[in-house]
Amino acid sequence: AQKVTQAQTEISVVEKEDVTLDCVYETRDTTYYLFWYKQPPSGELVFLIRRNSFDEQNEISGRYSWNFQKSTSSFNFTITASQVVDSAVYFCALIFSGSARQLTFGSGTQLTVLP
């Protein structure tokens, strides 16, 4: 069985602070893919990143960075110098190889960036 845990239900930070969103996953498969999506108040899920289980290189995209550690089954997301526009719900998700079906989502972290 697969499971994705986002233990942080809500986080509030002040603008320009750095913030890390945690994601821990469980899967018995050796080949799988991890995702982060952003859901702003409008509701649409916006794709941010996809990682496969064989690529543990960390990735940076502008103010966003991702730390993938198989040893701890974690795929954490850091926003540097947060901005008010970063306020949203962020979801971590998992899909294993061979599954054409579904993403397994975490319950999401509501991030509020205060001005």
Q: Could you list the residues that contact other proteins (CB under 8 A)?
A: 4, 9, 32-33, 35, 37, 42-47, 50, 52, 91, 93, 95-108
Cβ proximity of 51 and 66 under 8 Å: yes
**Paired tokens of 72:** 């701890």
Q: Measured from the CB atom, is 77 or 91 closer to other proteins?
A: 91
> What is the residue-wise DSSP string for 40-75?
-TT---EEEEEEETT----EEETTEEEEEEGGGTEE
Question: Residue 87 CB, nearest distance to other proteins (Å)?
Answer: 17
Q: Which of 45, 80 has the CB closer to other proteins?
A: 45
Query: Which C-beta is closer to other proteins: that of 42 or that of 115?
Result: 42
Min dist. Cβ of residue 98 to other proteins (A) = 6
Nearest to 83 by CA among 40, 113, 63: 113
